[in-house]
């Protein structure tokens, strides 16, 4: 006859159960340490790759304008025209943003430019982007004006993106 091993006592079962409970705590502690380290690393990497400069402001504005093109174009009959954004800065604060319509008839020189109002969403995007950059980046400390142009057609925006990316 084969004897079965003795069944564990309640005390033995309690010790086994307690050991099983403790094991996840060690794993939880590791997770609790890893998560903040990963967050810190990702924030550091993001901050380094997301440095503000005029080129970055232009590219992000072009991306925004492309994604909301119908709203940006609203009210403009000549989609070959450009919107010139002139941003006056004083003491690391935006004093004023003025928008002008630049027509191709003037060879885009800006001669006879006409002050305009743009879609509120575009104005808000530009204001928040530039404001964030000038407040948080020392490269803008001596900047008094930022001027760039925003095309009104997808093709012209793509050409502008290519031109900005080709500059160093």
Return the domain boundaries, the chain: 9-50, 52-166
Q: Tell if the pTM clears 0.85, that is, is over it.
A: no
Closest by Cα among 83, 100, 71 to 151: 83
Kindly list the averaged pLDDT for each block of 10 residues, start to end, along the chain of length 168: 58 56 56 52 45 92 97 95 95 94 80 91 97 87 92 96 91
Spatial contact of 165 and 93, defined as CB atoms under 8 Å apart: no
DSSP string over 84-100: EEEEEEETTEEEEEEEE
pLDDT of residue 17: 55
pLDDT of residue 57: 96
Cα gap 30→109, rounded to integer Å: 61
């Amino acid at each position: 006859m084969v004897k079965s091993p003795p069944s564990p006592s309640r005390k033995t079962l309690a010790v086994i159960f307690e050991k099983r409970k403790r094991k996840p705590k060690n794993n939880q502690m590791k997770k609790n340490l890893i998560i903040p380290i990963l967050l810190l690393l990702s924030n550091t990497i993001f901050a380094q790759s997301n440095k503000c400069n005029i080129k970055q402001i232009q590219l992000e504005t072009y991306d925004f304008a492309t994604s909301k093109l119908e709203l940006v174009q609203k009210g403009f009959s000549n989609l070959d025209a450009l919107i010139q954004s002139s941003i006056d800065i004083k003491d690391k604060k935006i004093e004023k943003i003025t928008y002008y319509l630049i027509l191709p008839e003037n060879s885009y020189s800006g001669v006879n430019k006409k002050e305009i109002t743009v879609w509120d969403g575009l104005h808000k995007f530009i204001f928040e982007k530039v404001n964030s950059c000038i407040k948080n980046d020392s490269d803008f400390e001596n900047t008094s004006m930022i001027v760039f142009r925003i095309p009104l057609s997808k093709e012209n925006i793509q050409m502008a993106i290519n031109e900005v990316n080709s500059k160093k």
